[in-house]
Amino acid sequence: MAWVLDSSMALAWALPDEDSPSAQRFFRGLSAADRLLVPALWWSDVSNALLAAQRRRRLPEAEALRALELFGKLPVETDGASGLEAAWRWFALGREHGLSVYDACYLELAQRTGAGLASLDKTLTAAARKAGVRTF
């Protein structure tokens, strides 16, 4: 099965002060046959969140770097959609569902690939369900 992994799910799994049974269930339930898809912005999203957590003293620098290393070991496939055509799709989805363009990137990737969406973001998850995308 293919899943679009958003940063909220990944960060809840990696940050020690985030306790998310949903994230733990999601990652424990993955099999070798499952695919994890991420938009290109996912990498800047998770690294920015780790840097912010380190700056706010939520986690030591060594643990932030370790979390980034763990993300690098996940079997993620980074989608390369970009450019004006993609921007139009993100803008339209954001407008239609009341999402930021950043969140619309995750929804658009799930729609385009037929993948499910693994997210802890309630607004994004509700939009995905409304759009007919399977959610975790």
Q: Where are the domains of the chain?
A: 2-130
Q: What is d(CA 93, CA 20) in angstroms, rounded to the nearest whole number? A: 28
pLDDT in tens, 33-80: 999 999 999 999 999 999 999 999 999 999 999 999 999 999 999 999
Q: What is d(CA 61, CA 54) in angstroms, rounded to the nearest whole number? A: 6
SS3 state of residue 135:
strand
Mean pLDDT, residues 104-108: 98
**CB–CB of 51/67 below 8 Å?**
no
DSSP letter at 119? -
Topology adopted by domain 2-130: Rossmann fold (3.40.50)
* Pairing between β-strand 116-118 and β-strand 35-39 as defined by DSSP bridges: unpaired
Q: What is the pLDDT of residue 56?
A: 94
Query: For the ranges 12-16, 78-82, 125-129, which has the lowest average pLDDT?
Result: 12-16
- H helices of the chain, in order, are 7-14, 21-29, 41-55, 61-73, 84-97, 101-113, 122-130
Q: What is d(CA 25, CA 79) in angstroms, rounded to the nearest whole number? A: 25
Q: What is the pLDDT of residue 79?
A: 98
